[in-house]
Every structure is written in structure tokens, then in C-alpha cells.
Amino acid sequence: MGKGYSTEEIRKKLISSLDGTSDGMSGVEISEKIGVNRITMAKYLKVFAAEGLLRQKNIGNITLWFLEPGQESFNFPDDYFKVESRYFEYLVKGTEDQVYSLIRNCLYSGGTANRLILEVILPSITRVKNLFDEGKIGTAEQNLLETTISKSLQIFNQIQTVSDPKKNVVVIAADTYSRLHSEAASAAYHSDGWKVSHLGDMSSAINILFDLDFQKLIGKIWKQKPGIMLVVIFSQTSEGLNFFADSINPIKEKSGKRMKLVLCGKTLKKAKTLPDLSSDKIGDVLQWSQTVSQNTE
């Protein structure tokens, strides 16, 4: 590695060198500008291209390198606010590739998955909903933007993590409007090393047989009952939260203290089932989950 540079330093210097260069640069030019051995630089260029940072174009015997859209150098934790505005700008006015490249670039630049989810993705979910409620976008555009957000969250799920068999969580969306929030929570749990079972929108499962169906599922994914099992339910309505909570509570009681119920959304004051935690803030839910898992070790 040239001059003792770290991979992160090379990435930043590479972004700085190629930023605003419409004609691209050859590997030789890049190695000379950054001060890294040509052979070593060639290896880094291939790695960065595989990560989605760069693209290459062959002209005759020369390979030119270009930055993918949305690439710039960030300094975390100071730049989360900057990234949030940039993400929403790309989401509404840019292209899908710019959105995904921005998220990958943040991860490569030292941004943490959880803070990107909480401080970048979640605010954009709210802003898209507000645009729709205010009549500034229609249903078709709302679906398009939410699909792009969903694909952004899938990037976090692709990060290789070692899940702890003692940390288990089932995440449920009680309605279509809660789907993205449940996906965001699932991605955050994944990044924290939880074994995640994300059931998605379960509104179609609201019937008298759900409790039996859910009991069978728990028996499959939590066979030996190691550690704890969290059941996290998201809903925009108190009725949705209470249905799933009431259906799951008998199973929870049989499992003892190792199964916890979390309700995220609106709850009725006269709810039959008292959860272990009720909050409309995903950040609080994640922090509580981590504390509970540590206390059961």
C-alpha cells in the first residue's frame, strides 16, 4: 500500500481526483496523482468498481475510470444531515442508481447502517408520505418512491453480519402503510447481529386462525428457544396493533419471560394486551432491544 495509506484514505483521494472529471482518468494517471504503486492501485480500482464506486470504459488499449453517480467524500458523524438532504434530493429528482450509490458510498465512507437508517431513510419515508398527503404527488409516484426506498433498505440487508442465535426477532407490519417502517427496523436489527424474521405486511392474515399460524412459525424459527425472542409489530391503527398483540399474547405467556412484545405505532388506551414496550420511535425500540438482550446474557 502506497505511503502507508489506508483503504479509506485511498477511497477519499480517489473520489477527490475523479470528482468533476468528465473525461475520466487512466489507472496510471490515478496512481501517479494519489502516489500509490500502479500494480497496487490497479487492484484497488477493481475492488472499488466491484463495490459500485467506479465504472470503467475501454478506449483502445486504455482503460478510463469514472466515478459512479452520487459519489463524494463524506466525514461521519458530521455529515449525516448532509446525506439526508442529498438522499431525498436524489430520491425525488434523481435516478435510482444515484440513490443506491449514495447509500453504498456512505457505508464505504464509515457511515453506520443504523444511523443511516434512522437519520437518512426514516425521515425520507415521512417526507414522501407528506408529499402524498399534501397532494403534491400521486399514488403512482408515491409507490415508485417507496419502492426505491425499499430497495435502499435491501442494501443494508446484504451486509455480511454474524447473527447471534440468542437474539431473535420477528417483525410484522399490520398494514400496508407500516411496511417500510417494518423493513427499516428489520434492516437495523440485521446490522446489529439479530436473527431477523421479517413477515412484511400481514394485513391479509387478520383472521381467527392467525394465532395458530403464528405458533407454528415460532416453533420452526425458535425451536430450542435460545436467548430471547422479540415480536415487533408496526401499525398505523390501534386496531391493527391490538389484533396482533391479542393473538400473540397467549403464545408469549407460554414462552415466559424470554418472549417480548413490542408495539410500534398507535395503541388504544383500553388495550387488552400490555406490551413490554410501546413506542412510535424506532430508535427507542432498537435501544431497548439491545438493553434487553444484554440483560438476558
pTM of the model: 0.83
Q: Please, which pLDDT band fits residue 4 given cuts at 50, 70 and 90?
A: low
Report pLDDT digits (tens) over 264-275: 987 656 667 789
Distance CA(125)–CA(218), nearest Å, equals 30
Distance CA(63)–CA(241), nearest Å, equals 56
Tell me the residue ranges of DSSP E strands in 60-126: 62-67
Report pLDDT digits (tens) over 226-236: 999 999 999 99
Report pLDDT digits (tens) over 13-39: 888 888 878 889 999 999 999 989 899
Q: Please, which pLDDT band fits residue 251 given cuts at 50, 70 and 90?
A: very high
| Domains in the chain with CATH codes | 2-67 (1.10.10.10), 80-157 (1.10.1240.10), 167-295 (3.40.50.280)
Average pLDDT over residues 135-145: 97
Element (H, E) at 151: helix 139-157
Amino acid sitting at position 11? R
3-class DSSP state of 64: strand
Average pLDDT over residues 94-100: 87
**Across-strand partners of 26?**
64
- Whether the per-residue pLDDT at 153 is higher than 90: the answer is yes
Q: Please, which pLDDT band fits residue 2 given cuts at 50, 70 and 90?
A: very low
Closest CA to 113 of 154, 169, 170: 154
Longest pairwise C-alpha distance within the chain: 74
- Whether the per-residue pLDDT at 1 is higher than 70: the answer is no
Distance CA(33)–CA(233), nearest Å, equals 53
Number of helices (H), then strands (E), in the chain: 12, 8
**Across-strand partners of 197?**
170
Is the separation of the CB atoms in 67 and 54 below 8 Å? yes
